[in-house]
Structures are given as structure tokens and as C-alpha cells.
Amino acid sequence: MQRIGFIVLPGFQMLSVSSLSVFELANWEIGEPAYHVHLLSETGGSIRSSVGISVATEPFDNRNFDTLMVGGSAVAGALTLGVIKFLRRGLRRSRRVASTCTGAFVLAEAGLLDGRRATTHWHRARELQARFPKVKVEEDRIFITDGPVWTSAGMTAGIDLALAMIEQDLGADVARSVARQLVVYHRRAGGQSQFSALLELEPKSDRIQSALAYAKRNLTSKLTVKQLASAAHLSPRQFSRAFRAETGQSPAKAVENLRVETARLMMEQSRHSIDVIAQQTGFADRYRMRRAFLRAFGQPPQVIRRNARAELAA
């Protein structure tokens, strides 16, 4: 049986511990206790959450945990020297150390993320990078595995992280069954990005939505304003004005974002060459795609693919 320890800090958010349900359901799915979950705090006892609900915790001791996890806290002074020491010891003794959401700040404060790739909630990612320059922050990832250290984005991304742990421990079939029980994706559509180009645009009218859906289906085409306007049943001038008013972007920029998102997914999940992916996503050649990747992610396609393969190998 694997022992899972989750460190609860005063003022934690209830959703941050939702990932523990993944381990509970994995036990149920295989019909035996593969995991034993422990809520931990420095002194033990009752710890109050941000909404006023308290949970019972066990105090830190000399037990070893296969997986040690931590969430964040909005309460000043919640992170103590005792917690930092416990995490540092955990990195030496545990197979995995992980954080959910702003728990990445806790791991960074303990020095566990120095020189490692990590993520956190997109809203706090740049702050994490500024405060801890030794950390290689990737702000658009759902979760990242770098050696024994796992970090996830927003609180629900902790479920994605835990499902990946289940897959590593018990296999893809068990992880997929647990995801079905939770009514979530085994692997989120659109790769591991926190963002979706279509969702981020948030068009308000059916006509602009239809144009974007048309663009998504026809990325190999040139997708001129005239084509998109025709799909929206508007004149090119009306379409351009309405599109920018509803999305805050030009049609050309939106199409590039759709192409980049699709190309990234193909880079991560397929074995197609970079030239083939560039052709299939409408970039025409690898050099245009490379420039688009640098604008969107600050990294070229080769680095995106190498990182994805490194995560899969881990």
C-alpha cells in the first residue's frame, strides 16, 4: 500500500484537496487499498479552511510517504520553517513530491523547484517566476513532472495530476476508469495547455462562433477575411468590425492562435515531422510556424516536443 500525505496549511481552499478523491476512487476501482491517504499539518489537530470548514489532520512525524503533496494558503504566516523542513526531508525520502495550484510557491520557498520546470495557476505564474528566478516556470501547463517533483495549475488541475500518478502506478485503464467515475477527462482535450484559443475568444454572437468553427475545421486553407465573413454571412467589413468588437482580436491573430494550439497538440501527441505539422495546420512552412510558436510560447516547436517526450518518459 502506498501512503499519500497531503499537507494542509491554515486557510487552505477546500477544492485544493479534491485530488485526494482520485486515490480514493482508484482503491474502489481495483477492489483493494492501493493508497492510504493522510491529511497532515505541522502540529496536527483541526485546520480551518478559507470557507470556515475545518479538517482533522495528523502531525508531522518520522513516517515516510510514497507521495507528499501540498496546496497553497492565503493566510499570512501559514508557511513555517517546520513545513519547509518537512518538505525538504520528503524530497529525500519520498518517490514523489507534488503541489496543487499555488502550492508551487510552498515548494519554491523550500527550494524544491530550483532548476526545475514547474507550473502554477496562470494568474500567479509570473509572480512565481519573479519571486523565484531559479524556477523554470511554464505558465500555460496543466501539470508538469520534473524528476520526482510534480506541480499542477489551478486547483482542479490537481485532479489531472493525480490521474497521471494513477496511470503511472496502476496503468492507463485504471486511470481512465477513475476519470469516468469523476466525470472528467482522462487527458484534457487540447493537450496540456491551461488555455483554449476558442474559449479565450468568447465570441458572443452565433455568426462569429460559426466563423471560428469554420476556421477550426479548415486550418489548411488560407482563411482570408473574405472566407470567414462568408461563413458568418456578413460582408468582410462588417465581419472584421464585429469580430474585433466581440473578441478583442483581429481575425488574422485569432486564426494564428487556433493554428498554434492545434500544432502544439500535434507536436505533443503525434510523431509527424515538423514540416508535416506546419502543412497540416496551415502555416505553409516550418519557419512561419516557428515564429508563431515563439510569439505564443516563447519556445520553438522542437523544445515543446522535447519537453512533452520528457514528461511522457518520466
Say if residues 126 and 138 touch (Cβ distance below 8 Å).
Answer: no
- Report the pLDDT value the prediction gives residue 191, as an integer from 0 to 100: 39
- Report the pLDDT value the prediction gives residue 261, as an integer from 0 to 100: 87
pLDDT grade, residue 122 (50/70/90)? confident
Say if residues 37 and 27 touch (Cβ distance below 8 Å).
Answer: no
- Report the pLDDT value the prediction gives residue 270, as an integer from 0 to 100: 82
243 three-state secondary structure: helix
Express as a percent the part of the chain with pLDDT over 90: 66
Per-residue DSSP letters for 279-302? HHTT-SSHHHHHHHHHHHHSS-HH
Average pLDDT over residues 158-165: 93
pLDDT grade, residue 311 (50/70/90)? low
* Cell numbers given for 148: 520526482
* Cell numbers given for 109: 520557498
- Whether the pLDDT of residue 194 is over 60: the answer is no
Side-chain-side CA neighbours of 191 within 13 Å: the count stands at: 25
Q: Which of 97, 101, 157, 265 is catalytic?
A: 101
Say if residues 53 and 28 touch (Cβ distance below 8 Å).
Answer: no
- Report the pLDDT value the prediction gives residue 141, as an integer from 0 to 100: 80
pLDDT grade, residue 189 (50/70/90)? very low
Q: Please identify which residue in the block is written with the cell numbers 465570441.
A: 203
- Whether the pLDDT of residue 175 is over 70: the answer is yes
* Cell numbers given for 175: 486511470
159-164: long-range pairs with CB below 8 Å, 24+: 159/18, 159/19, 159/21, 159/22, 159/184, 160/184, 160/185, 160/187, 160/188, 161/19, 161/98, 161/100, 162/19, 162/20, 162/22, 162/23, 163/22
Average pLDDT over residues 266-292: 91
- Report the pLDDT value the prediction gives residue 313, as an integer from 0 to 100: 65
**Cα-Cα-Cα-Cα dihedral sign, residues 228, 233, 235, 240:** negative
> Within 10 A of 229 (CB to CB), how many other CB atoms are there?
21
- Whether the pLDDT of residue 123 is over 90: the answer is no
What does the pLDDT look like over 81-111, one tens digit per residue? 999 999 999 999 999 999 999 999 999 999 9
- Whether 281 sits among the annotated catalytic residues: the reply is no
- Report the pLDDT value the prediction gives residue 312, as an integer from 0 to 100: 64
25, containing H or E segment:
helix 20-30
What does the pLDDT look like over 197-238, one tens digit per residue? 665 667 778 888 889 889 989 999 999 999 999 999 999 999
Task: End-to-end CA distance of the chain: give it in Å, rounded.
Answer: 22
Q: What whole-number distance in Å separates Cα of residue 32 and Cα of residue 39? A: 20
- Report the pLDDT value the prediction gives residue 271, as an integer from 0 to 100: 86
pLDDT grade, residue 284 (50/70/90)? confident
- Whether the pLDDT of residue 4 is over 50: the answer is yes
* Cell numbers given for 274: 515538423
- Report the pLDDT value the prediction gives residue 195, as an integer from 0 to 100: 55
Average of per-residue pLDDT values in the chain: 89
- Whether the pLDDT of residue 53 is over 90: the answer is yes
- Whether the pLDDT of residue 138 is over 60: the answer is yes
CA angle 34, 187, 213 (to 5 degrees): 165
- Report the pLDDT value the prediction gives residue 190, as an integer from 0 to 100: 35
- Report the pLDDT value the prediction gives residue 113, as an integer from 0 to 100: 97
Residues whose CB falls within 8 Å of the CB of residue 257, separated by 6 or more in sequence, listed in order: 197, 200, 201, 249, 296
pLDDT grade, residue 140 (50/70/90)? confident
- Whether the pLDDT of residue 192 is over 60: the answer is no
- Whether the pLDDT of residue 310 is over 50: the answer is yes
> What are the structural domains, with CATH classification, of the chain?
2-182 (3.40.50.880), 197-313 (1.10.10.60)
